[in-house]
Amino acid sequence: MKPQVLQLNPILIPAINDELASLYQVHKFFEIADQPAWLREHGASISAVITGGHTGISRGMLEQMPNVKVVAVNGVGTDAVDLAYCRSRHLPVTATLGALTEDVADLAIGLLIAACRNLCAGDRFVRDGLWELNPQPSAIPLARRFSGMRVGIVGMGRVGRAVAVRAAAFGCPIRYTDLRAMDDVPHEFVPALLDLAAASDALVLCAAADKAEGIINAAVLDALGPRGFLVNVARGRLVNEADLTQALADGRIAGAGLDVFVDEPRVPQALRNTDRTTLQAHRASATWETRHAMGQMVLDSVAQALAGERPAMSLTT
């Protein structure tokens, strides 16, 4: 009999689903009508769990699966998993670390360029027929040059470093803040976030910072200033959205490029209504290449755990 795998989130890559189905008996939890009853009846038979970063898995669910050997997160966020409990059970929790780096960094730069150059507003201006009605050059406000901007990076991990490489290629001076200075990073370390914002034309949030909340507040936005831009490809809750909304409305910052939000998929109407924002639906890793790589890492983690090995991507064992 094939090992039993409980899948809490869909995987969008057909080849990965085919591979899972060929190796395991996959139970798609998201398609089960009476989930509590099913778990009570079948939980003891589950050998592996596949979940997403947002969904994670509760301790209560894990307690009903005494024989599970791995929780494979198809993403990098693990704050929805009780890692301490998993450690107490010597249960590997894996994540797809590294697979998302290039795409997330690409989107960070894309959001920043789009925000600086008013790409989305310009697109709407043409699509809505307004260019024909207003052909004069002054009909669209002048934009801001990205090349040479002073870029401040919050979180110099994998994504932060990849953003720095890309921004440096545009001639941007780079500064960063993190829990400590990095010896292998050639850029200037600024210990205080407020000081980094004051020294930046654009502030790019790349920190995982699972426990941080609202660190980008009115004071930081005021330090960034009326010609400054904010980009967030990290965690929505790093930003105080009420403070950001007010700063945009008052013109206290120039604009924002946001891929993540505090209460997804609910995005504040004020952020949707202004041309000062460029918005995405938490899509930084949403390419075929990255999603396939993530799926393969999930497959590898499950296979390693069920073979009695420590999964290479384990964060808990």
The tens digit of pLDDT for each residue in 207-234 reads 987 678 999 999 999 999 999 999 999 9
**150 and 129 both lie in a single domain:** yes
Q: What percent of the chain has pLDDT over 70?
A: 100
Q: Is 54 labeled as catalytic in the residue annotation?
A: no
Tokens in use for 246? Answer: 């007010």
> In 280-292, which positions are buried (b, 16+ CB within 10 angstroms) versus exposed (e)?
bebebbeeeebbb
Domain of residue 42, residue span: 4-99+289-307
Residue 174 Ramachandran class (φ > 0 left, ψ -120 to 50 alpha, else beta)? beta
**Model confidence over 188-208: pLDDT tens digits?**
999 999 999 999 999 999 998
State the average pLDDT over residues 134-147: 95
**Residue 316 located in a structural domain:** no
Among 265, 236, 266, residue whose Cα is nearest residue 256? 236
77 has pLDDT over 90: no
What pTM does this model have?
Answer: 0.93
Marked catalytic residue, from 89, 117, 282, 292: 282
Q: Is 102 labeled as catalytic in the residue annotation?
A: no
Per-residue pLDDT, 211: 75
* CATH code where residue 21 lies: 3.40.50.720
Q: Is 264 labeled as catalytic in the residue annotation?
A: yes
- Name the domain count of the chain: 2
Marked catalytic residue, from 235, 237, 276, 291: 235
State the average pLDDT over residues 73-91: 95
SS3 letters across 76-100 = CCCCCECHHHHHHCCCCEECCCCCC
274 within 8 A of 244, measured Cβ to Cβ: no
Query: Strand (E) positions, 142-250?
Result: 151-154, 174-177, 188-189, 202-205, 229-232
258 DSSP 8-state letter: E
**124 and 251 both lie in a single domain:** yes
Residues 199 and 202: their CA atoms lie apart, in Å, by 9
Residues 113 and 124: their CA atoms lie apart, in Å, by 16
Per-residue pLDDT, 209: 73
**213 and 120 both lie in a single domain:** yes
**Model confidence over 44-59: pLDDT tens digits?**
999 999 999 889 999 9
**127 and 269 both lie in a single domain:** yes
Marked catalytic residue, from 41, 63, 264, 309: 264
**Model confidence over 237-262: pLDDT tens digits?**
999 999 999 999 999 999 999 999 99
Per-residue pLDDT, 210: 65
230 within 8 A of 259, measured Cβ to Cβ: no
Per-residue pLDDT, 71: 98
